[in-house]
């Protein structure tokens, strides 16, 4: 384990006091002793882990404190505690996630009945067994990939489990967004005006997105026609209730597409979604 950068080892006299206050402190709600908010330390630890997860490079204490809007002393206390549990580690370049996070992530992704049913169903599916099939959930305005069946296609595009993508640029995401109520869709999109542009075919405005979601609802499945990755097409089918927004998709090299392949894949995904819906906890 590398030593912390010298600039991050300043004495306590050089650090800000620990009594900083902000809107994320948590604790008991004022005037209502029967209602509690999240523990301040636990909540901030979660924010810290999330920040490290979003950044691919090591981050110094000063940068972490600035991003979180907290005193350096508070962030240092969190880092030391998380380091002791293996959740973060220090490198010569700064702080990064620890390997314990990977262990917990794998446990979370493999412990649900839906994930187990996904693997059983894709392996048994005549239409899907040879394809790259992905299971994802909707988290805010992003999709998070939770399971993948690789199939046997010699050329394919895959997303690593646990990573995320903007929902609007994926068939998975638009399949899930299409199932939301107008109010929920508005809440998740917020004040979005310009959509992420990944290729020349990407949707660019919220109006285009809403039109696409109308088509998804009418069709029953979403289509990513090289809008997320050049040369890759994808079909997505929502799993639906009773659980949180979930969808399954198949991605494949664009040149493979035929009407027969589309019919086969959509039929397989529809049956897979039905099986997963029955496996979800109510």
pLDDT band at 7; cut points 50, 70, 90:
very low
Q: Which fold has domain 6-102?
A: Arc Repressor Mutant, subunit A (1.10.10)
CATH class of 112-279: alpha beta
The residue ranking higher by pLDDT, 111 or 175, is 175
**What are the domain boundaries of the chain?**
6-102, 112-279
Model confidence at 65: pLDDT above 60 = yes
Model confidence at 219: pLDDT above 60 = yes
| CA dihedral sign of residues 42, 48, 49, 54 | positive
Q: Which of 15-24, 63-72, 79-88, 141-150 has the lowest mean pLDDT?
A: 15-24
pTM of the model: 0.66
Beta strands in the chain (DSSP E): 88-91, 94-97, 132-139, 142-149, 164-166, 222-225, 232-238, 246-253
Over range 164-173, report the average pLDDT.
92
pLDDT digits (tens, 9 = 90+) for 225-240: 999 899 999 999 999 7
CA atoms of 218 and 179, how far apart (whole Å): 11
């Amino acid at each position: 384990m590398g030593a912390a950068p010298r600039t991050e080892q300043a004495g306590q006299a050089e650090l800000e006091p620990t009594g900083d206050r902000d809107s994320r402190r948590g604790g008991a709600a004022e005037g209502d002793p029967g209602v509690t908010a999240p523990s301040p330390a636990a909540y901030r630890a979660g924010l810290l882990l999330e920040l490290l997860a979003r950044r691919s490079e090591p981050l110094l204490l000063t940068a972490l404190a600035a991003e979180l809007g907290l005193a350096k002393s508070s962030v240092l206390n969190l880092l030391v505690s998380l380091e002791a549990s293996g959740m973060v580690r220090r490198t010569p370049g700064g702080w990064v996630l620890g390997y314990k996070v990977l262990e917990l992530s794998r446990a979370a992704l493999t412990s649900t009945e839906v994930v187990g049913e996904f693997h059983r169903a894709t392996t048994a599916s005549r239409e899907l067994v040879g394809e790259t099939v992905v299971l994802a959930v909707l988290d805010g305005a992003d999709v998070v990939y939770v399971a993948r069946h690789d199939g046997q296609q010699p050329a394919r595009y895959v997303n690593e489990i646990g990573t995320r993508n903007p929902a609007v640029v994926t068939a998975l995401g638009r399949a899930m967004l299409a199932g939301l109520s107008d109010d929920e869709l508005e809440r998740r999109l917020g004040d979005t005006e310009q959509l992420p542009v990944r290729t020349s075919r990407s949707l660019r405005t919220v109006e285009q997105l809403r039109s696409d979601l109308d088509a998804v609802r009418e069709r029953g499945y979403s289509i990513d026609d090289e809008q997320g990755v050049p040369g890759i097409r994808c079909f997505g089918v929502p799993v639906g209730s009773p659980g949180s927004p979930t969808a399954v998709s198949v991605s494949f090299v664009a040149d493979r597409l035929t009407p027969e392949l589309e019919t086969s894949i959509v039929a397989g995904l529809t049956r897979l979604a039905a099986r997963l819906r029955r496996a979800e906890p109510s």
